[in-house]
Structure 1
Amino acid sequence: MDPQHYISKCHAELQSAVAALGGDSASPRLASIADLIIQSMTGPWRSFHTPEHIFEVGAGGTPVEVVAALFHDLVYAQVDSGIHVNLARYVAPYVRETDKGLVIDPMESAPADDLELVMTLFGFARGQVLSPFAGLNEFLSALLAVRVLEGILSKSVCAQIATCIEATVPFRGPQPDGRNCSQILLERLKQANQDHALGLDDAACLDTILMGVRVANRDIGNFASEHPSEFLNNTWNLIPETNHDLVSTNTYTVKGYRISLQKMEGFLGFLQPAAVFRQFADEPSNEEHQRRLDLTLRNLEVARLYLRLKLVSITLLESLSLSLGEEVSLSSIMGKLPGKMDFPIQFENYLPQIAKPYQAQNRQEEIVMDLLETGRSAESVHDTRHSPVASYLVKSLGIPASLQLLDQARSFFAGKLSAEDLLAQTDPQMVQGLRHAMVEVFARRAEMFRTV
């Protein structure tokens, strides 16, 4: 969609929210802030954390929630390969880059009050190394929001917005003392309220935390998708954000694709629903919270099985492709991947038919086999919707036997098992089917080349 459309929508949401919060909704700065937000959210590597996402996170929320949603993913260092140049002018005075990463180390000339406020809310301190997996992006996004909204909204409202952004730091379990992240954030907000004379009473502090819970839950709402395919669609949009080679659809390697799947499987493999969705006080209700947890568990279990089967299948292809070299593009084996032009030579067309294919043994297997055979419900710019090699693997060996290859695959990743040994430990008829399809693709490509 045209970036100008997003800028206009962002500007309108900012004006409406600022007016409702008693701020300067007529400020000409709001237009440049909207431009700043959308430019930063439409970088070349953004495929999930996009303008659509921030509008979805704010949809139906209070004015504080809407503004927090617009800012919460502004800084995303590991996706953008650093901090967007337009944002750096606001946060550079507060951090210093070292060999360990970004450190909170403000310049003497940098206004300290905003930094102290945001550090209190995040529980951070000067000299702290910021981790991209423990609040770096959210901290800098919150600091940036407070800085650019100064003079447009009151200090107390900016603090509430920063609090909601802190709440979006994801996947946090309870502390050893039993406190959860929302309880801890409430304590920090009350401390900030005292230190910075924000004028918030206890009810306003609690209400701010509940707003943060709602923002955080909408931020990762796709985990509770009604259908696993919808959850996988979002997962597939996340993969290229931190695997930039996948953006070059027809040149990324078999190994590169395998590594991207490996990282996602590793992340989802240990994630528990209780670390995904939040509940604090009566937000949300017990019934709604349990519904989200149940759907998240179902979606995670399906995604894990789906990813593990795809991981085994791509590992077998990688093992076969090593005879050609280590930097073989996946498209050279599979045929052209998603793009503007059709390519008649496709790997899947030369896979053998299975006389007695494996039949799903339960509902989870039914869902996964359908996803492999038919495909996810949405297109992806970097991958096909369906998974013909994984589907062939499952039909040939069955799901239990296919999963038994996962340990060998992990040994292969670690360099403890050679490609030849991995293939030798795999059903020879199934491997021969893969080898045959690979030979057919190359033979037909050679034939096309000779006729040009």
Structure 2
Amino acid sequence: MTDRSEGVHSKTFETLQLGSEEFRNLPGPEVLSAWARLVDESMSSEARSYHTTSHVLDVLAALPKHNNDPILLLAALFHDVVYLTVDRHLSTDQQALVGTIIRDPSGEKENLEFVEHREDGLLLLVRDIFEVGNTNDSVGLNEYLSAVVAVQMLGEYVTSAEIFQIGACIEASIPVRPNTCNGYVVRSPMQVLHDRLLLVNRKWGLGFSSHELTKTTQRAVKFALADLSSFH
């Protein structure tokens, strides 16, 4: 490992350690280090010039209070782990994590295949947050698969409510979405997300109050703005 990649790995590892200080059930240093390496390697594709680990650090820099909010911290770390638009394929490690819901048989984005009826638990919760259909051109596919990676890594150690909040932040980072119109009613993507979170909360019995759901949406908006602000 080069000095530069070792430095990047150290920063990613430090980010996970900060999260583990708040989420007491996160695993020890050896597992966190393995997670950090997977994130770093996923975001070090030669095709990437923007959605790299440096972008994660830029997002965190735009969230000055992230050290006190592990939801934001972990969302930032995982939100661009999968970026098929640029990478054009899933790595072996990525395929191992998302292979229960999607296959990349030929190593090309255009040939992705959704796997039916093999999801359970937190994966279905995340799918509801993203409202993903069985099509490989779904808006937000990159972010959805990144959230799946987060679930596969974190799911054993965090609660459904925490995955719900992390997933909401990652969903909010889906770029360039138009407002939706229904007659004279115009709704922004964040308003649509809020409505969907209401439904998911009810369906899964997560127990969030109306005020807590509003705060969850506000945090997601804050995350999306930090993601956008790091474009330069």
Fold similarity call, TM over 0.5: yes
2:137 partner letter: S
Correspondent of 2:180 among 175, 183, 186:
175
- Kindly indicate whether residue 86 of structure 2 is the aligned counterpart of residue 79 of structure 1: yes
1:87 partner letter: Q
2:179 partner letter: P
1:74/1:100 Cα in 2 relative to 1: closer, same or farther (>3 Å)? closer
> Is the CA contact 2:55–2:230 (under 8 Å) kept in the aligned structure 1?
no
* Alignment match, 1:130: 136
* Alignment match, 2:19: 17
* Alignment match, 2:170: 165
**Other structure's SS at 2:112 match:** strand
1:97/1:49 Cα in 2 relative to 1: closer, same or farther (>3 Å)? closer
- Kindly indicate whether residue 99 of structure 2 is the aligned counterpart of residue 92 of structure 1: yes
1:201 partner letter: S
Correspondent of 1:184 among 172, 192, 204:
192
- Kindly indicate whether residue 161 of structure 2 is the aligned counterpart of residue 156 of structure 1: yes
After superposition, the C-alpha distances for 1:274-331 in whole angstroms (9 at most, x for unaligned) are xxxxxxxxxxxxxxxxxxxxxxxxxxxxxxxxxxxxxxxxxxxxxxxxxxxxxxxxxx
For residues 90 and 97 of structure 2, the distance between their equivalents in structure 1, rounded to whole angstroms, comes to 11
Question: Structure 2 matches for 1:111-126, cutoff 5 A?
Answer: 111-125=119-133
Provide the TM-score with structure 2 as the length reference: 0.85
Unaligned runs of at least 5 residues, structure 1: 224-233, 235-452
1:215 partner letter: F
User: What is the deviation of 1:28?
Assistant: 3.7
> Is the CA contact 1:118–1:143 (under 8 Å) kept in the aligned structure 2?
yes
1:217 partner letter: L
1:197 partner letter: G
1:37 partner letter: V
For residues 197 and 221 of structure 1, the distance between their equivalents in structure 2, rounded to whole angstroms, comes to 34
**Other structure's SS at 2:77 match:** helix
Q: Which moved more, 1:85-94 or 1:22-31?
A: 22-31
For residues 217 and 195 of structure 1, the distance between their equivalents in structure 2, rounded to whole angstroms, comes to 28
- Kindly indicate whether residue 142 of structure 2 is the aligned counterpart of residue 140 of structure 1: no
Identity %: 30
User: What is the deviation of 1:206?
Assistant: 1.5
Correspondent of 2:205 among 197, 210, 216:
197
**Other structure's SS at 1:93 match:** coil
> Is the CA contact 2:58–2:230 (under 8 Å) kept in the aligned structure 1?
no
After superposition, the C-alpha distances for 1:48-71 in whole angstroms (9 at most, x for unaligned) are 111110111123233211110111
For residues 58 and 31 of structure 1, the distance between their equivalents in structure 2, rounded to whole angstroms, comes to 19
Unaligned runs of at least 5 residues, structure 2: none
> Is the CA contact 2:122–2:160 (under 8 Å) kept in the aligned structure 1?
no
> Is the CA contact 2:59–2:76 (under 8 Å) kept in the aligned structure 1?
yes
- Kindly indicate whether residue 72 of structure 2 is the aligned counterpart of residue 70 of structure 1: no
* Alignment match, 2:57: 55
| Superposition CA RMSD, Å | 2.2
**Other structure's SS at 2:176 match:** coil
Provide the TM-score with structure 1 as the length reference: 0.45
2:136 partner letter: L
> Is the CA contact 2:95–2:103 (under 8 Å) kept in the aligned structure 1?
no
For residues 197 and 26 of structure 1, the distance between their equivalents in structure 2, rounded to whole angstroms, comes to 30
For residues 165 and 15 of structure 1, the distance between their equivalents in structure 2, rounded to whole angstroms, comes to 20
For residues 114 and 215 of structure 2, the distance between their equivalents in structure 1, rounded to whole angstroms, comes to 29
Runs of 4 or more consecutive aligned structure 1 residues displaced over 3 Å after TM superposition: 25-28, 96-101
- Aligned pair count reads 219
**Other structure's SS at 1:176 match:** strand
1:190 partner letter: L
1:63 partner letter: P
1:130 partner letter: N
Question: Structure 2 matches for 1:42-441, cutoff 5 A?
Answer: 42-59=44-61, 60=64, 61=66, 62-96=69-103, 101-106=111-116, 110-125=118-133, 128-131=134-137, 134-177=139-182, 178-222=186-230, 234=232
2:114 partner letter: I
> Is the CA contact 1:101–1:129 (under 8 Å) kept in the aligned structure 2?
no
User: What is the deviation of 1:97?
Assistant: 5.2
User: What is the deviation of 1:215?
Assistant: 1.4
> Is the CA contact 2:168–2:220 (under 8 Å) kept in the aligned structure 1?
yes
Larger radius of gyration: 1
**Other structure's SS at 2:180 match:** coil
For CA contacts below 8 A with separation 6 or more, give which structure has more relative contact order: 2
> Is the CA contact 1:168–1:219 (under 8 Å) kept in the aligned structure 2?
yes
**Other structure's SS at 2:28 match:** coil
2:15 partner letter: E
